[in-house]
Amino acid sequence: MGIIVWTKEETDTLKEHYLEYNQRELHEKFFPDKTTTQIKNKKMDLGLKKPPVWTNEERGILLDHGAKYTHREMVARFLPDKTLAQVNDMRKHLGIRRRKCTDTRRN
């Protein structure tokens, strides 16, 4: 496999749109001649990173309350800007297991 060459225009386009689209979307919209891996590698080479989806404060809320509440309750009570999947995935990532309540009352 040869060296992948990026033109200045392609690099500028990537810098302009990397926050708006994932690798697959960038490939489809702007770079049909590049693979998604090539796009990802170029982003890494340029140091282009999206901001984290979770703040430390949001992680703290999940750590404090994630075992007591369902993901639906977490979104409704504490994390309205997160999707159910995001809460569920982060709970798994942090190793938080939901405690089963035998009492119907919550703290």
At residue 106 the predicted structure's pLDDT band, cuts being 50, 70 and 90, is low
What is the tens place of the pLDDT at every residue in 41-71?
A: 999 999 998 888 899 999 999 999 999 999 9
What is the tens place of the pLDDT at every residue in 17-41?
A: 999 999 999 999 999 999 999 999 9
Sequence ranges of the domains in the chain: 8-46, 52-107
Instruction: Say what the pLDDT of residue 104 is.
Output: 54
Please state, in angstroms and rounded to a whole number, the distance separating the CA atoms of residues 39 and 42: 5
Q: Is 47 left (phi over 0), alpha (psi -120 to 50) or beta?
A: left
